[in-house]
Each structure stands twice: as C-alpha cells, then as structure tokens.
Amino acid sequence: MRLPAGLGVLCLALCCLGGARELWSGDHEWKKLIMVHHWPMTVCNEVANNCEHPPDYWTIHGLWPDKSGECNRSWPFNPDEIKGLLPDMRLYWPDVLHSSPNHSVHFWRHEWEKHGTCAAQLDALNSQRKYFGKTLDLYKELALNSTLQKLGIKPSISYYQISDIKHALVGVYGVVPKVQCLPPKSGEKVQTLGQIELCLTRDLQLQDCPEPGEPAPQRREAGPGGTPILGLEICEDGPVFYPPPKETNH
C-alpha cells in the first residue's frame, strides 16, 4: 500500500531521527575533548623512515573526544570540504612521518573518521570544515610553542624535570595538562618528551585532563595516520629529554 506523500516524508524523518539517536548512544558518548600536540623530533627519532626535515615546532596530532571512536563510518572524509584550510593544515597539522602531501591527506582522513565523526556531536564541530577549522583555531589560541618558549622551556641537550614543565603549564593555562613521554630504551638514561595534551569541556573551555579519582592510564598512542608506532606513556616524575632538531643536536 502506498503511503500519502506527507506521511511518507514523516516516516522517513522519524527513521532518520531514530538512526541519529542510535548513532550517539552508548559507547559513542563522551565528556571532554583532548587537544593533542606532539613534538616532531620525538616522533621522527622513534621511527626510521622518510621523516625528512620535521618542523621545529609543536604540531597538531588531533582533537579527540575521550571514550569514543569511529562514531559514524558512513561519513567519509572529503578533502574538498577543507580546501580553504589547506595552507594552515599543511603548516600546523602535517603528517610529520612522511614528506609527501598525500600522506597528510591520509593522516587527516584518519583523524576525521576516528575522532571527528565523534566530535561532530557538538554544533561547533558538526562538519569537516568546522572540525578542522576549530582545531586550528584552538591550536593558535593555546599557542603551546610560544608559551613553552616564554617559560624558558626550549629543546635542549640538557634535561628538564617533568614536574617543572607541568607546573609551568598549569601557571599559564590554569589547568592540569597530560604530558606524555617515550620511555628510555635500552642504554638510554631518561624518557623523551613526546606529546602534550590540553583538555576541554563540551563547551570548549579548558579543564584539567586528569579528573578527580581518575587513574593515570599508561596508554600507547598511534602515530600519524593511525600507524601504531609511538609507545607514549604518561611521563614519570624525574628528568626528561626535550630533543632539539638534529641540525643542533651536537
């Protein structure tokens, strides 16, 4: 039996709404966003490949909702939607492991499909243009590179103390960040600074990354494009190496 045109449209709309409710239920719910910066020299030193001339400044790893991933596999990445952002994307959000621009596109696709489709629960992030554009805006507003430099925390062959870095960042941002390191390998003495996370509420306001009563996870992060190469862990108290670019690492 054919439904009247208006009733058919209504049924279709209800079905779509039902699908949307299912999309954002259960495991896809999240509480906070994590603005993830990584240090290119650490990324490149960990992996032997064609990582040539990495940036000498902190770059974006991603903007990640906590406790969710790949929320909508039917929403594929479309590079055309971020054409206007490409100059900044290439500068601040490159795939530091590969020099080819095509690899950066693969990296951005991974970030959108795993994290962006979940962040899209927020109106401010509910398109690819908004997700990538807002992440770039946050990167510039937080200004981690210049903040560390103003604090006197610069790449060096000398070691820093993790507690000093954390306390300095708390003094500037007013919230507790999450600082991640590569553990020392065989024959090495200290951990290596690799990643700094600043966390935000669903209203995009800064908040402490560790929540009251929350254990500190020792998780292993993937590298650009999802490549499982970075064995990053929460930094332990004590000395840390903040590696300078190879040209000055002598």
- Establish if 168 belongs to a structural domain: yes
Residue 195, domain member (yes or no): yes
Amino acid present at 165: I
Q: Mark 153-166 as b/e (b = at least 16 C-beta within 10 Å).
A: bebeeeebebeebb
Condensed to tens digits (0 to 9), the pLDDT of residues 195-240 reads 999 999 999 999 999 866 554 444 444 555 554 446 889 999 999 9
Asked if residue 104 belongs to a domain, the reply is: yes
Please report the sign of the dihedral spanned by the C-alpha atoms of residue 98, residue 101, residue 106, residue 107. Answer: positive
Q: Is the pLDDT of residue 49 over 70?
A: no
pLDDT (0 to 100) of residue 224: 56
The tokens of 218 are what? Answer: 């020792």
- 22 assigned to some structural domain: no
Mind telling me the catalytic residues? 61, 111, 115
Q: Which pLDDT score, from 0 to 100, does residue 27 have? A: 64
Examine the pLDDT at 66 and tell me if it is beyond 60.
yes
- Is residue 12 one of the residues assigned to a domain? no
Average pLDDT, the chain: 83
Number of domain units in the chain: 1
Phi/psi for 53 (5° steps) reads: 50, 60
What string of H, E and C letters represents the secondary structure of the chain?
CCCCHHHHHHHHHHHHHHHHHHHCCHHHCCCCEEEEEECHHHHHHHCCCCCCCCCCCCEEEEEEECCCCCCCCCCCCCHHHHHHHHHHHHHHCCCCCCCCHHHHHHHHHHHHHHHHHHHCCCHHHCCHHHHHHHHHHHHHHHCHHHHHHHCCCCCCCCEEEHHHHHHHHHHHHCCCCEEEEECCCCCCCCEEEEEEEEEECCCCCEECCCCCCCCCCCCCECCHHHCCCECCEECCCCEEECCCCHHHCC
What digits encode the pLDDT tens for the residues 33-47?
999 999 999 988 776
| CB-CB contact of 197 with 209 (8 Å) | yes
What CATH number is attached to the domain comprising 124? 3.90.730.10
User: What is the tens place of the pLDDT at every residue in 3-30?
Assistant: 444 444 333 333 333 333 334 444 678 9
- Predicted pLDDT at 44: 85
Q: pLDDT digits over 85-121, tens only?
A: 999 999 999 998 876 767 889 999 999 999 999 999 9
Domain annotation covers residue 165:
yes
- Asked if residue 112 belongs to a domain, the reply is yes
CA atoms in the 13 A half-sphere facing the CB of 175: 18
Residue 91: inside a domain:
yes
- Whole domain around residue 154: which residue ranges? 31-248
pLDDT 10s digits, 137-158: 999 999 999 999 999 999 999 9
| CA angle, 179 then 185 then 187, to 5° | 130
